[in-house]
Amino acid sequence: MNSLNNLMENMPQNVDGVIISEASNRRYFTNFSSTAGVLIVSRRKAILLLDFRYFEMAKNKVKGVEVRCFTDLNSAIGDVLRCENLKNVALESFSVSVKQFEDYKKNFEDVNFVVDGWLDECILNLKSIKSYSEIEKIRASQEVTDAAFSHILNFICIGKTEKEVAREIENFILDNAQCVSFPTIVVSGRNSSLPHGTPSDKKLEIGDFVTMDFGAVVDGYCSDMTRTVCMSSPSNFQRELYSIVLNGQKLALKNIKQGVVCNDVDRLVRNYFEKYNYVEEFGHGLGHGVGLNIHEEPYLNRVCDTVLEENMVVTVEPGLYINSKMGVRIEDLVVVQKDGIVNLTNSSKELICI
Ligand SMILES: [Mn+2]
């Protein structure tokens, strides 16, 4: 069953239609990407309202959804609500602004807007479990990202700046994919203790750890990976820190499968690091879902109690950060299976010294 039918059949009694305006949600249900537009879904049909910029393209491309061109969005929405006799309409409470909500209420006075969170939860659940074709897109996206890593290993050297390395990664991705899935992170030496630091003009120096976190988008679907390499030979301390992070990651990868609770996986790695007295040094969650959005459900962190299901796609990215000194993060992208995982990331994780 496709996602749209799933949504139609899951509508509770107090809802006879939904308005979907968030871009990645619209894209998810229609397979059509646009910066603006509204998708209205009732139990029996789906109507995508688009402006002139997208109309012709969508008319030829979108299947199973009626496409209409609007000049005045409010009156187009009003027409659909009236003609389809939609009186109880659910909204995405996670993404509709307060202003938009007030406008809806003002413009459509006889409509009861349902914002009880049902729609959000329904969409998040549907999106978190990937179809075969979604997984193939994520796989293709990760292949570009792996290739970008191989490419950068031939480029990176002492004297290059973090910005130069980041730009080279992004150029490679732009040459081979639709776009980058987020601004590339390249942090070196003491900057590598900043998990999401921005690339600077700092040059790579002997002894630096260099953490690179990047991803591509293919056919709308994101990928995400992180590797930390060492410029020339690592100290004993660097070797040890790296191997603790790597073993923590391997422990998580070994334990992820359908039926496992997200926060249990996070805790497993946290407890492992604690054995080495690293507590504060792992200050972020273990991972996150990836799909049309670079960060989405489910989250492998301390609080998420989602039970992992087959065909969820998540990152596994433990890191240890020693304040103002150095950091290590290793991130793979994996598909949850009944008995384990399929790892979509194929780059080596042994400590690479350049
Ligand atoms: Mn990530």
Tell me whether residue 102 is exposed, middle or buried, using C-beta atoms within 10 angstroms of its C-beta: 0 to 12, 13 to 18, 19 or more: exposed
Stated length of the chain: 354
- What is the pTM for the complete model shown? 0.94
Q: How far is the CA of 130 from the centre of ligand 1 (A)?
A: 18
pLDDT per residue, tens digit, the chain (354 aa), is 689 999 999 999 999 999 999 999 999 999 999 999 999 999 999 999 999 999 999 999 999 999 999 999 999 999 999 999 999 999 999 999 999 999 999 999 999 999 999 999 999 999 999 999 999 999 999 999 999 999 999 999 999 999 999 999 999 999 999 999 999 999 999 999 999 999 999 999 999 999 999 999 999 999 999 999 999 999 999 999 999 999 999 999 999 999 999 999 999 999 999 999 999 999 999 999 999 999 999 999 999 999 999 999 999 999 999 999 999 999 999 999 999 999 999 999 999 999
Assess if CATH 3.40.350.10 describes domain 3-128: yes
Q: How far is the CA of 232 from the centre of ligand 1 (A)?
A: 26
Q: How far is the CA of 214 from the centre of ligand 1 (A)?
A: 8
Q: How far is the CA of 288 from the centre of ligand 1 (A)?
A: 7
Selection from 94, 107, 34, 97 nearest residue 65 by Cα: 34
Q: How far is the CA of 353 from the centre of ligand 1 (A)?
A: 23
Residue 299: per-residue pLDDT: 98
How far is CA 245 from each of CA 39, 231, 238, rounded to the nearest angstrom?
44, 18, 11
Side chain identity at residue 235, one-letter code: S
Superfamily of domain 132-343: Creatinase/methionine aminopeptidase superfamily (3.90.230.10)
Q: How far is the CA of 41 from the centre of ligand 1 (A)?
A: 32
CB neighbours of 124 closer than 8 A, spacing ≥ 6? 296, 297
Q: How far is the CA of 284 from the centre of ligand 1 (A)?
A: 11
**For the chain, which residues make up each domain, given as ranges?**
3-128, 132-343
Q: How far is the CA of 182 from the centre of ligand 1 (A)?
A: 10
Q: How far is the CA of 156 from the centre of ligand 1 (A)?
A: 22
How far is CA 202 from each of CA 146, 165, 233, 307, 323, rounded to the nearest angstrom?
25, 11, 20, 42, 18
Q: How far is the CA of 33 from the centre of ligand 1 (A)?
A: 23
Q: Residue 186: beta bridge partners?
A: 212
Q: How far is the CA of 331 from the centre of ligand 1 (A)?
A: 7
Residue 1: per-residue pLDDT: 63
Q: How far is the CA of 317 from the centre of ligand 1 (A)?
A: 7
67: its two tokens: 């496409």
Q: How far is the CA of 254 from the centre of ligand 1 (A)?
A: 19
Q: How far is the CA of 277 from the centre of ligand 1 (A)?
A: 24
Query: How far apart (Å, rounded) are the C-alpha atoms in residues 101 and 291?
Result: 27
Query: How far apart (Å, rounded) are the C-alpha atoms in residues 330 and 54?
Result: 40
Q: How far is the CA of 318 from the centre of ligand 1 (A)?
A: 10
Q: How far is the CA of 298 from the centre of ligand 1 (A)?
A: 12
Q: How far is the CA of 224 from the centre of ligand 1 (A)?
A: 5
Residue 201: per-residue pLDDT: 98
- Radius of gyration of the chain from its Cα atoms, rounded to whole angstroms: 23
Q: How far is the CA of 276 from the centre of ligand 1 (A)?
A: 24
Residue 2: per-residue pLDDT: 87
- Residue showing tokens 């000049």: 71
Query: How far apart (Å, rounded) are the C-alpha atoms in residues 128 and 299?
Result: 10
